Amino acid sequence: MTGALQEVALLPEPVARHLRFAGVADAPVPAVVRMRHTGDIRLRPDQRHASHVALLRFTTDPPGFVREARVKTSPLVTLRAHDELENGAARAQVWPFRSWKSVDQTGPKVDQDAVVRFMSDMAWFPAAMRMPYVAWEAHDAATATMSVTIGGTLAHALLTFAADGALVRFEADRFHRLGTRAWELATWTMDYGEATPMGAVRVPKSARASWLLAEGDFPYIRFDVDDLAYD
């Protein structure tokens, strides 16, 4: 790891409060995090929700992830998605059918999208909020801005915390693409459910995410965390 972990006492008060709430103020940062979540998702506002399951593997030094997801779009069709962020570069792939890949994307916008997602998922390994690649700016007793640099990509997010230290909301500008539309930058939010003990940490049991688009808000995914493990 390049650089030392940040001292909890020097972090913005709501961030330090959250680390104490989660039980990781003095905990080591896990090298590898594995998570499984299930729920429902829709890819466009005019679609119904479809069931999905996702398996995620995160690394914290260097920061990155691999996500394998399956979405049952109909009784006979299961869409498969593979996303990764490795060495600062991201790639997104989708297979609507076993032998046909409909999406295979790389580039700066895909990188930014992946970095923002990594930041939001730190809710499930909050000790990493002390890593050297994370910078914090205090606002008030409830909010702070997180800035993360991975590879050549810098992203920012506003985090909101409850009085007891629970992480409540994550908000960031993130690139997205709906259907055949071009990539666009829009506000993206993740609202976290009630925190619960999972192993030695207290983290959200559920979450839901939305795009805040010009034509209206688009809540598109909600999920429950079924399994969380640190290596």
| 60-115 pLDDT per residue, tens | 999 999 999 999 988 878 899 999 999 999 999 999 877 788 889 999 999 999 99
Per-residue pLDDT for the chain (231 aa), expressed as one digit of tens each? 667 899 999 999 999 999 999 999 999 999 999 999 999 999 888 888 999 999 999 999 999 999 999 999 888 788 999 999 999 999 999 998 777 888 899 999 999 999 999 999 999 999 999 999 999 999 999 999 999 999 999 999 999 999 999 999 999 999 987 655 678 899 999 999 999 999 999 999 999 999 999 889 999 999 999 999 999
Q: How far apart are CA 136 and CA 206, in angstroms?
A: 25
Q: How far apart are CA 80 and CA 84, in angstroms?
A: 14
Of the candidates 47, 106, 99, 89, the one whose C-alpha atom is nearest the C-alpha of residue 71 is: 47
Tokens of 30: 């896990």
Q: The domain 8-230: what is its CATH number?
A: 2.50.20
Q: How far apart are CA 75 and CA 189, in angstroms?
A: 30
Query: For the purposes of burial, counting CB atoms within 10 Å of the CB of 75, is it exposed (0-12), middle (13-18) or buried (19 or more)?
Result: exposed
Domain boundaries defined on the chain: 8-230
Q: How many CB atoms lie within 10 A of CB 116?
A: 23
Backbone angles phi, psi at 115, to 5 degrees: -65, -40
DSSP the chain: --SPPPPGGGS-HHHHHHHHHHT-TTPPPPSEEEEEEEEEE-SSTTSPPEEEEEEEEEEETTEEEEEEEEEEEETTEEEEEEEEEETTEEEEEEESBTTB--EEE-SHHHHHHHHHHHHHHGGGSGGGGGSTTEEEEE-SSSEEEEEEEETTEEEEEEEEE-TTS-EEEEEEEEEE--TTSPPEEEEEEEEE--EEEETTEEEESEEEEEEEETTEEEEEEEEEEEEEEE-
pTM above 0.85, yes or no: yes
